Amino acid sequence: MKAAFKLIDKLLSESHRPMNIMALDKVLTFGIPFNAPHGFKIQSIDEHEIVITLPNRKLNHNHLGGIHACAIATLGEFCGGLGLLKSFGISKYRLIMSELKAEYRYQGRKALTGKSQIQFDKEKIQNDIDTTGKSTQTVTATIYDSDSQVVATVTTTWQIKKWDLVKTKNQ
């Protein structure tokens, strides 16, 4: 597991290279099995923004033929989480979502794109982690259709915690 986490951190640190984004896409599709059927595709990752697409395909549809609300929420979650991973890494810190809120504006019926800005106070988060072992951060992703219409806004709150402070059932 540690080797996979280090690989993800390396790919994220060099995400300006298209081949690294393709490799990261494959690693995360395998590493997050819940996301695999949706067909998410990482488009770009830089110091300021994460962009991920969700195809308009039958597997992602609801009973009305539009993109399912849960697929849209998962797209927003993925954007937010990846932004935090880019900033803090997964080999040193465990990220876990503690809250998700989705505000839907209208039914998405085309391929969707999620965009999340990386604009949080990294110094404050790092200070919280250094003093208490954990921090929380809220991230917002905006979901657009292929006509640039805003379909939804997804807000996720994440707990960032040092791995050595994570307790599991077996401990």
Residues of the chain above pLDDT 90, percent: 78
pLDDT the model gives residue 69? 95
**Taking residues 38-56, what's their average pLDDT?**
94
**Taking residues 139-156, what's their average pLDDT?**
97
Q: Strand, helix or coil at 48? A: coil
Encode pLDDT of 108-119 as tens digits: 999 999 999 988
All domains of the chain in start order, with CATH:
2-165 (3.10.129.10)
Encode pLDDT of 58-100 as tens digits: 999 999 889 999 999 999 999 999 999 999 999 999 999 999 9
For residue 168, pLDDT beyond 80 = no
Instruction: Pick 50 or 32 by higher pLDDT.
Output: 50
Residue type for position 56: N
Residue type for position 23: A
Nearest to 94 by CA among 84, 109, 80: 84
User: Is the pTM higher than 0.85?
Assistant: yes
